[in-house]
Amino acid sequence: MNLPRTLIILAVVVPVVGLLLLWLRRTPSSDRTWAADQALMPKVTFDGSRFTVENLRNLRWTDSTNFVPSWETRSYDLDRVSSAWYVLVPFSSRWRGPAHSFVSFGFDDGRYLAISVEARRQLGESYGVLRGLFRQFELIYVLGDESDLIGRRAVYDGTDVFLYPIAATPEARRAVLRGMLERAESLRAHPEFYHTITNNCTLNLVRHVNQFAPGRIPQSWRLALPGYSDQVALAVGLIDSTLPLDQARARYRINDRARAAMDSPDFSARIRL
């Protein structure tokens, strides 16, 4: 009498175990057919304090999904980093939890380099929070122009974008930037899976900061919900503002300024107060 029940259990368990084994055997790769906006990984080379970025992204967006491709080579100097900025993009205005966050570094010649840690999608694939739990995406550091990485999100995606000034010493800015550049380059040879909880955009930023200053950003449940990460950053003094949270969010929301500056060569200057 128990045989049918055993067969039913086996019919359920065996495929699940098989899928689990296949999932565990899946390894990260840099060799896939990637989505066009993530097709090229950045290549970073150093020469003392100077560094060069190949495959720097500077796409010209015409709407939220279409763009004119543009990948460039630019050189910078770590000793000329003059500012750092935290970019926060909540996915919904009704609940701030899910969000994307990244950083941008300003140089004393007026240029900016944005660095966005992302789930790398294959061609035809779309990002999903749940899918990001199951080795569906690789990790990529996108290095690009602010008019691309910030502009598209602020103008075309229908999401709020906040650009907060970061309070940091010159030494800290240089150290965090160098750490991010080195990690971006290391992923070329040593790919990793993105993970929604353990290897996401915000947690990688936290690790870079805490690598330079251990414990600078304390553990918090809000870090698992990146939309609240500005609350953590403001509380620990990482955002260079004395405003209460609501006023800071209102002041540093840049969507209107980005729309007005989208086609301007001084986009970065105009989106800042």
pLDDT tens for residues 14-53? Answer: 444 434 444 455 799 999 999 999 999 999 999 999 999 9
Residue 33 maps to a domain: no
Residue 136 maps to a domain: yes
Averaged pLDDT of the chain: 91
Residue 251 maps to a domain: yes
Residue 207 maps to a domain: yes
| CA distances, 7 to each of 1, 13, 204 (Å) | 11, 10, 46
Domain of residue 101 covers 46-270
Say how far apart CA 71 and CA 58 lie, in whole Å: 6
Q: How many CB atoms lie within 10 A of CB 62?
A: 11
pLDDT tens for residues 67-102? Answer: 999 999 999 999 999 999 999 999 987 888 889 999
Rounded mean pLDDT, 245-251: 97
Residue 147 maps to a domain: yes
Say how far apart CA 119 and CA 140 lie, in whole Å: 6
pLDDT at position 3, please? 56
pLDDT at position 21, please? 42
Residue 29 maps to a domain: no
Residue 23 maps to a domain: no
Q: Please tell me the total number of residues recorded for the chain in this structure.
A: 273
pLDDT at position 13, please? 52
Give the number of domains in the chain. 1
- The sign of the CA dihedral 132, 137, 139, 142 is negative
Residue 66 maps to a domain: yes
pLDDT at position 94, please? 81
Residue 1, pLDDT > 90, answer no
Rounded mean pLDDT, 185-210: 94
